[in-house]
C-alpha cells in the first residue's frame, strides 16, 4: 500500500515542470531553485536604481527590508515614495526566517553527530567530539597544529558513525598548499584503516584566491545534493582574504565577503548535517591597530559565525595545548595532546 501511494505521488509530481526523470539513474531529480531574488526583482527597481542601491551598500533583501523609507531615501539618494515601495517589495522577498518550536529544535539537535579527534582529552573538551551542524574555528600561530587537526579529522570523518566517524565524504579546500596525501595515509594506517579507501573519500581542491575559495563552496553545495557531504575543511579560511584586502580602506569589504562565505558554510553544515572546520592564523605583529597578538584574523565576524573556537598553542616536549573558547553549551577548558607520526594522540 505504501508503494502504491509513492507511485501516485511520483506520477503527479512528474507533471510539474521542475521535476525530471533521470533515465540513467532511474530516479526522480527535483531541481531546487537556489538563486536568491536580486535587487532587480524588486518592484520599481530598474538597472539605474539597482546600481544606486548597490553603491550605497544595499545588496541584500534583508538589509533593505529593515530600513525606514526616509533612511533608505537618504542613503541611496532616492525619492521617499520610491523607497517605501522598494522596502515593501523587499519585505516580501526577504528571507526573514521563522520560529521553530523548542521541540522541533531539539529534534534537529538530536541528529547532531560527534566526530572523534583520536585524542580522548580533546574529545572530552568538546563534550564527546566535534559536532556536526556547526562551524569550528581552529586558530593559532604558524606550526601550532591546525593543519594536522584538519588532516586527522578528515581521516576520522570517513570512519563509520559507530566508530566515532561521520560515515561520509570529506571536502578539503586548501588555500596554502599544505594538504599532504602522504600524511593522510600515515594517519589512516595509524587508525588501522586502508589508506587508499580513505583517500578515495577525501576530495581536495586548491583555492587560488578568495573568489575561487567562495566558488568552491558553491560547488560543494551543488554536489551535496547527490553526495553524502559530512565534513568541509577550509585551511586556511582567512589567508587569501588577508592578502587581497589590505589596509583600513578594504577592511569593510573584506569582512563583508568573509561574512557571506561563512554564512554559506553554515548553511552547508545545517542542510547536510555536516561539520565545517576552518583554520585561522593569529595576528603575528602586535601593533597598535590590531592590539593583542593572539587574536585571530577576521575579528568578530569569524568569531560570531563559529560555533566552537579552538585556540592552539605549542608547549614543552612537542605537546600542544588546545583551549576551547566561547562555546554555546560547554565550559571553557584546555586539553593537552601530541602530534605523532600516526596522528593526533593524547
Ligand atoms: N609526520 C609527523 N610526525 C610528527 N609530527 C608532525 C608530523 N607532521 C607534522 N608534524 C608536526 O606538526 C607541525 C606542523 O603543524 P601544522 O598543523 O602544519 O601547523 P599549522 O597548520 O598550525 O601552521 C610540525 O611542526 C610538526 O611538529
Ligand atoms: Mg597549516
Per-residue pLDDT of the chain (346 residues; tens, 9 = 90+): 344 444 444 443 433 334 344 334 444 444 444 466 888 888 889 999 998 888 887 877 888 888 889 989 998 899 999 999 999 999 888 877 778 888 888 888 899 999 999 999 999 999 999 999 999 999 999 999 999 999 999 999 999 999 999 999 999 999 999 999 999 999 999 999 999 999 999 999 999 999 999 999 999 999 998 999 999 999 999 999 999 998 888 888 898 899 999 999 998 999 899 999 999 988 765 554 544 556 777 777 777 788 999 999 999 988 999 999 978 888 889 999 999 999 999 9
Type and span of the H or E element at 252 = helix 251-271
Please work out whether the CB of residue 145 comes within 6 Å of at least one atom of ligand 1.
Answer: yes
Write the burial class of residue 101 (CB in 10 Å: 0-12 exposed, 13-18 middle, 19+ buried): exposed
Per-residue confidence (pLDDT) for residue 294, from 0 to 100:
66
What 3-state class would DSSP assign to 337? strand
What does the pLDDT look like over 266-285, one tens digit per residue? 989 998 999 999 999 887 65
Per-residue confidence (pLDDT) for residue 186, from 0 to 100:
98
Q: How far, in Å, is the centroid of ligand 2 from the Cα of 88?
A: 47
C-alpha cell at 251: 577592511
Please work out whether the CB of residue 148 comes within 6 Å of at least one atom of ligand 1.
Answer: yes
Handedness of CA 180, 182, 186, 191 (dihedral sign): positive
Burial 173-183 (b: 16+ CB within 10 A, else e): bbbeeebeeeb
Task: In whole angstroms, give the CA distance from residue 76 to residue 54.
Answer: 8
User: Contact 303/261 with Cβ under 8 angstroms?
Assistant: no
Please work out whether the CB of residue 343 comes within 6 Å of at least one atom of ligand 1.
Answer: no
Task: In whole angstroms, give the CA distance from residue 297 to residue 255.
Answer: 10
Write the burial class of residue 19 (CB in 10 Å: 0-12 exposed, 13-18 middle, 19+ buried): middle
Please work out whether the CB of residue 140 comes within 6 Å of at least one atom of ligand 1.
Answer: yes
CA-to-CA dists, residue 108 to 104, 217, 324, 328, angstroms: 6, 23, 24, 16
- Domains of the chain, earliest start first: 14-98 (1.10.150.20), 103-345 (3.40.50.300)
C-alpha cell at 307: 560555533
What 3-state class would DSSP assign to 324? strand
What does the pLDDT look like over 54-66, one tens digit per residue? 888 787 788 888 8
Task: In whole angstroms, give the CA distance from residue 176 to residue 153.
Answer: 18
Per-residue confidence (pLDDT) for residue 14, from 0 to 100:
39
* Main-chain phi, psi angles of 144, to 5 degrees: -80, -10
Q: How many residues does the chain have?
A: 346
DSSP letters along 146-172, please?
HHHHHHHHHHHHTS-GGGTS--SEEEE
Ligand 1, atom 2, lies closest to the CA of 341
Ligand 1, atom 20, lies closest to the CA of 143
Write the burial class of residue 35 (CB in 10 Å: 0-12 exposed, 13-18 middle, 19+ buried): exposed
Closest atom of ligand 1 to 178 CA is 18
Beta strands of the chain (E only): which ranges? 19-22, 27-30, 114-115, 130-131, 134-140, 169-174, 202-206, 229-235, 275-281, 308-314, 319-325, 333-340, 343-345
Closest atom of ligand 1 to 142 CA is 23
Amino acid at each position: 500500500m505504501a508503494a502504491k501511494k509513492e507511485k501516485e505521488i511520483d506520477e503527479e509530481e512528474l507533471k510539474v515542470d521542475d521535476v525530471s526523470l533521470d533515465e540513467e539513474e532511474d530516479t526522480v531529480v527535483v531541481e531546487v531553485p537556489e538563486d536568491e531574488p536580486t535587487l532587480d526583482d524588486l518592484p520599481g527597481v530598474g538597472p539605474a536604481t539597482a546600481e544606486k542601491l548597490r553603491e550605497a551598500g544595499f545588496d541584500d533583501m534583508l538589509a533593505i527590508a529593515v530600513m525606514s523609507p526616509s533612511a533608505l531615501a537618504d542613503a541611496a539618494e532616492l525619492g521617499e515614495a520610491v523607497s517605501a515601495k522598494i522596502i515593501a517589495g523587499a519585505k516580501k522577498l526577504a528571507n526573514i526566517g521563522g520560529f521553530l518550536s523548542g521541540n522541533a529544535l531539539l529534534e534537529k539537535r538530536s541528529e547532531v553527530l560527534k566526530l572523534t579527534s583520536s585524542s580522548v582529552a580533546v574529545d572530552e573538551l568538546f563534550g564527546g567530539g566535534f559536532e556536526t551542524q556547526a562551524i569550528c574555528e581552529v586558530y593559532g600561530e604558524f606550526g601550532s597544529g591546525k593543519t594536522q587537526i584538519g588532516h586527522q579529522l578528515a581521516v576520522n570523518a570517513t570512519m563509520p558513525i559507530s566508530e566515532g566517524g561521520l560515515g561520509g565524504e570529506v571536502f578539503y579546500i586548501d588555500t596554502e598548499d599544505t594538504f599532504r596525501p602522504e600524511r593522510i595515509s600515515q594517519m589512516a594506517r595509524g587508525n588501522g584503516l586502508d589508506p587508499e579507501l580513505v583517500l578515495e573519500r577525501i576530495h581536495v581542491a586548491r583555492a587560488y584566491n578568495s573568489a575561487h575559495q567562495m566558488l568552491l563552496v558553491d560547488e560543494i553545495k551543488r554536489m551535496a545534493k547527490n553526495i553524502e557531504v559530512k565534513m568541509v575543511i577550509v585551511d586556511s579560511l582567512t589567508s587569501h582574504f588577508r592578502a587581497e584586502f589590505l589596509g583600513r580602506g578594504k577592511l569593510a569589504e573584506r569582512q563583508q565577503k568573509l561574512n557571506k562565505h561563512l554564512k554559506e558554510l553554515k548553511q552547508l553544515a545545517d542542510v547536510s548535517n555536516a561539520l565545517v572546520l576552518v583554520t585561522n592564523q593569529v595576528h603575528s605583529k602586535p601593533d597598535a591597530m590590531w592590539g593583542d597578538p593572539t587574536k585571530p584574523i577576521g575579528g568578530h565576524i569569524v568569531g560570531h559565525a563559529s560555533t566552537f573556537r579552538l585556540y592552539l598553542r605549542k608547549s614543552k616536549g612537542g605537546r600542544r595545548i588546545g583551549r576551547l573558547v566561547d562555546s554555546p553549551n560547554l565550559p571553557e577548558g584546555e586539553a593537552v595532546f601530541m602530534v605523532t607520526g600516526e596522528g593526533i594522540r593524547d
